[in-house]
Amino acid sequence: MLLPRPASHVIHDLDGVLLDTEPFYTIATTEICAEYGKTFDWSVKANMIGRPSRDSARYLVETLDLPITPEEYLQRRRDRLEELFPTSLPKPGAEDFTQAVHAMGVTQAVGTSSEKKLLDLKITNHREWFSIFEACVTGDDPRVKDGKPGPDIFLVAADELKAEPPNCVVFEDSPAGVAAARAAGMLVVALPDPAMNEAEFADADLVVSGYDKLTPTDLGL
């Protein structure tokens, strides 16, 4: 087993963990920033991933000194993303891994900062796969008072699974998500984008490059 203690329930982030949607956010934001002669790169994106939309929008506008409000940016980005999300594809190995966990009788949930409407767009072509998850907790759930790095999303997901937080393992791809899982008292497996500095995931119990580096038994399931 690769974790400090066994887990009995699994919670997955969505973007960059189950579905390869992160490039869509980059496309939409790059297009908007380019209109104002600004460059959107990983030095900015790394501080936005995993955070609530309004927080990341405020950071972007302030950091790049964009002549629009965070709200204007979010609306323009949303319009573009709604065109892109239905074409979302699974992250390599994600479906096989989660199906293997499901076959073991282990309950799983999704905990994402995305709004419910956007989640529905992202899983347009994956509804059968996502039917294996006992719950999908989104950032606009009224029970989520504080977004990541706050623990609320994962605590609500654990409640939906009728699980004690210390018995849950979270799969995340962002430092904010790792911090949220830690704040919830949960185990964390990090799946960072290769472009990110692995040192930012030092608080994770395990850092792997992909699902092909893991089996359910590695987690004590």
Here the CATH number for the domain that contains residue 41 is 1.10.150.240
pTM of the predicted model, to two decimals? 0.87
Identify whether the C-beta of residue 59 lies closer than 8 Å to the C-beta of residue 79.
no
Least confident residue range of 8-17, 40-49, 71-80, 81-90? 40-49
Read off the pLDDT band of 208 (50, 70, 90): very high
Q: Do residues 93 and 127 both lie within one domain?
A: yes
Instruction: Give the whole-angstrom CA distance, residue 155 versus residue 164.
Output: 9
Residue numbers of the domain that contains 52? 22-86
Per-residue model confidence (pLDDT) at position 170: 98
Per-residue model confidence (pLDDT) at position 141: 96
Residue 109: inside a domain, yes or no? yes
- The percent of residues in the chain predicted with pLDDT above 70, rounded, is 100
Q: Do residues 81 and 94 both lie within one domain?
A: no
Can you tell me the mean pLDDT for 184-209?
Answer: 93
Residue 2: inside a domain, yes or no? no
Q: Do residues 60 and 164 both lie within one domain?
A: no
Q: Do residues 42 and 95 both lie within one domain?
A: no
Backbone angles phi, psi at 35, to 5 degrees: -60, -25
Q: Is 216 helix (H, G, I), strand (E, B) or coil?
A: helix
The CATH number assigned to the domain holding 184 equals 3.40.50.1000
| Start-end of H helices in 104-205 | 116-122, 127-130, 152-160, 175-183
pLDDT digits (tens, 9 = 90+) for 94-134: 999 999 999 999 999 999 999 999 999 999 999 999 999 99
Q: Do residues 41 and 119 both lie within one domain?
A: no
Q: Do residues 96 and 183 both lie within one domain?
A: yes
Identify whether the C-beta of residue 42 lies closer than 8 Å to the C-beta of residue 196.
yes
Residue 1: inside a domain, yes or no? no
The DSSP result for 66-110, as a single string, is: -SS-HHHHHHHHHHHHHHHGGG--BPTTHHHHHHHHHHTT--EEE
Q: Do residues 14 and 40 both lie within one domain?
A: no
Identify whether the C-beta of residue 160 lies closer than 8 Å to the C-beta of residue 109.
yes
Active site residues: 13, 15
- Determine the Cα angle at 31 with ends 59 and 78, to 5°: 65
Q: Do residues 77 and 14 both lie within one domain?
A: no
Q: Check pLDDT > 80 for residue 50.
A: no
Residue 3: inside a domain, yes or no? no
Instruction: Give the whole-angstrom CA distance, residue 55 versus residue 83.
Output: 23
Instruction: Give the whole-angstrom CA distance, residue 180 versus residue 45.
Output: 18
Residue at token pair 């972007």? 60
Q: Check pLDDT > 80 for residue 16.
A: yes
Examine the fold and report which residue of 42, 64, 86 is the final residue of a domain before the chain moves on: 86
Of residues 187 and 46, more confidently modeled: 187
Per-residue model confidence (pLDDT) at position 120: 96
Per-residue model confidence (pLDDT) at position 24: 93
Per-residue model confidence (pLDDT) at position 49: 79
Q: Do residues 55 and 155 both lie within one domain?
A: no
Read off the pLDDT band of 42 (50, 70, 90): confident
Per-residue model confidence (pLDDT) at position 196: 84
- Determine the Cα angle at 157 with ends 185 and 70, to 5°: 95
Overall number of domains in the chain: 2
Read off the pLDDT band of 137 (50, 70, 90): very high
Q: Do residues 121 and 58 both lie within one domain?
A: no
Identify whether the C-beta of residue 137 lies closer than 8 Å to the C-beta of residue 112.
yes
Residue 62: inside a domain, yes or no? yes
Q: Do residues 116 and 168 both lie within one domain?
A: yes
